[in-house]
A = this chain, B = another copy of it.
């Protein structure tokens, strides 16, 4: 096993591909709530806390119905919850996977495969494609993380 001095280094292509894909997914994870915010402001609805219908500069004319579930806003919240079920696990699994030094090509396929599958999942969810389309992309992203975690476990146990 190479030293970490070599491993966690931007000159190491394995670490570089992880860092690139991980940063992209971090941005995706952090930007989804902004879509929720934008949708709440656009329809002035879909709020969740009782105090959100208090008069304020952003909400000058509050009405009680603003606390009702709003599908347009709720879709973005479901997309965010789906991110939460997947992206943090990807970020950690990818990092541990890189630490056990898999073949570069395998890492590139799994890490970029995950990014592409989540991108496709995002558009399928956003545009309300039928469940089977969304499920297919979700499956690809899930399998990518499962393979990385399984590979890491195998390496860890083999070294034990």
Contact = CB atoms under 8 A, between A and B. Distances in A.
B93 A26 contact: yes
A132 interface: yes
Nearest to A92: B91
Copies of this chain, tallied across the complex: 3
Q: Which bracket fits the contact residues of A?
A: 35 or more
Interface of A: 1, 3-5, 7-11, 16, 19-20, 22-24, 26-27, 29-31, 33-34, 37, 47-52, 54-59, 71, 75, 78, 80, 84-85, 87-89, 91-93, 95-96, 99-100, 125, 128-132, 134-135, 142, 145-146, 149-150, 152-153, 155-157, 159-160
Contacts of A132: 56-59
